[in-house]
Structure 1
Amino acid sequence: MPVTSAGLLLHHGRGAEVHVLVAHMGGPFWARKDDHAWSLPKGLVEPGEDVEAAARREFAEELGVPAPDLPAVDLGAFRYSSGKVVHVLAVEVPASLAGSPDDPASADLTTRPGISTARVEWPPRSGRHLDVPEVDRAVWAPLDDARRLLVKGQQPALDALLRVTA
């Protein structure tokens, strides 16, 4: 059975004005990378867990704030070349969220309490391990920028979002 994750794609605006929330992956491997080094806030669906519940839980764990309590639209499941499957749910938020005190975006998530960390071996094959934040920052990006930033397996979710926001 493939690894299954669930994530939330927060967005505001319509058509060419759509902006989405993307998060930069944390840790030394991703530190100097930008293109294809960002992700939707997402994580593993636990056995028996509802996909939306998993997506909302992972959002809070990765960004340190709860996801907006607004309806989610299922954009579908997207398969990575590795076989991993990511279910993506879109949540439309008011544009006024960006820059407000409740904005989940942050130039430095490492200072936000409660964010989740991952244990990585660094440098590779060194036997030394570090605890790093799963994501280290989050921004609102226009669709064209998000397409360049997101890992390739998540880019089709942007096309699905365009279909529902047209």
Structure 2
Amino acid sequence: MPRRSAGLLIFRYSEGEPEILLVHPGGPFWARKDEGAWSVPKGMVEEGEDELAAAIRETAEEIGETVEGPFQWLGEYRQPGGKKVLVWSVEANPPIDQSRIVSNMFSLEWPPHSGRLQQFPEVDRIAWFRLDQARQKILKGQAPILDDFSGRRNRSA
């Protein structure tokens, strides 16, 4: 069975246009990567865990804030590596302050083969992006999430 992650596409309105909250992964591999490196906040669904509950939990672990609904189902997205990501959209109310990020940490042997274990944040920064900017920043495999959000928004306008 493919691995499953669950996440939230968090948005707010600025001057009448939606902005999307994306997270930048921490650690040395991602340190110098920007375009095509950002993600919606997401993480693994534990065995038997409700997927929406996992999305809320993982988001809180990555940004340090618990986001409250109402949540709208966006879809299930297959990533290039085979993992499935289940995503809900939610308007941040009140908006999330990107300067107050508090993320979980993970351990990694760094530099490779050094025998030294170092701690890195799961997410090293978060930022709000207009949809056109978010399309440049987000991981290629997650671009359909933005398309579905944009399409749903246009149908309801």
Contact 1:104–1:138, Cα closer than 8 Å, also in 2: no
Partner of 2:62: 62
Please give the residue correspondences for 1:17-28 in structure 2 after superposition, counting only pairs within 5 Å. 17-28=17-28
Following the alignment from structure 1 to structure 2, what is the Cα–Cα distance between the partners of residues 130 and 27?
9
- The one-letter code matched in structure 2 to 1:9 is L
Shift of 1:126: 3.4
Structure-to-structure mapping, 1:9-158, within 5 angstroms: 9-13=9-13, 17-67=17-67, 69-94=68-93, 97-98=94-95, 103-106=96-99, 109=101, 112=102, 115-158=103-146
Q: Which runs of 5+ in 2 are unaligned?
A: none
Does the residue aligned with 1:53 lie in a helix, a strand or coil? helix
Identity %: 48
Q: How many residues align?
A: 153
2:52 partner letter: E
Q: TM-score, normalization: structure 2?
A: 0.89
CA distance 1:45–1:104, shift in 2 (3 Å): farther
In the alignment, the residues of structure 2 paired with residue 46 and residue 53 of structure 1 have an alpha-carbon distance, to the nearest angstrom, of 10
Between the aligned partners of 1:36 and 1:129, the Cα distance in structure 2 is 27
Offset from partner CA, 1:65-102 (integer Å, 9 cap, x none) = 111x22111111100111011011100235xx44xxxx
Q: Structure 1 pair 125/145, CA: closer, same or farther in 2 (3 Å)?
A: farther
**Aligned counterparts of 2:136 and 2:109: Cα–Cα separation in 1:** 27
Q: Partners of 1:8 and 1:142 in 2: how far apart?
A: 16
Output the amino acid matched with 1:134. E
For residues 130 and 60 of structure 2, the distance between their equivalents in structure 1, rounded to whole angstroms, comes to: 23
Q: Distance in 2 between matches of 1:104 and 1:13?
A: 14
Structure 1 residues not aligned, in runs of 5+: none
1:116-142 residue CA offsets vs partner (Å, 9 max, x unmatched): 112222223433321111001111101
Q: 1:156: how far off?
A: 0.6
C-alpha distance in 1 between matches for 2:114 and 2:36: 26
Q: How far does residue 30 in structure 1 lie from its aligned partner after superposition?
A: 1.1
Distance in 2 between residues matched to 1:124 and 1:151, nearest whole Å: 25
Distance 1:132 1:59 in 2: 17
Structure 1 length normalisation: TM-score?
Answer: 0.85
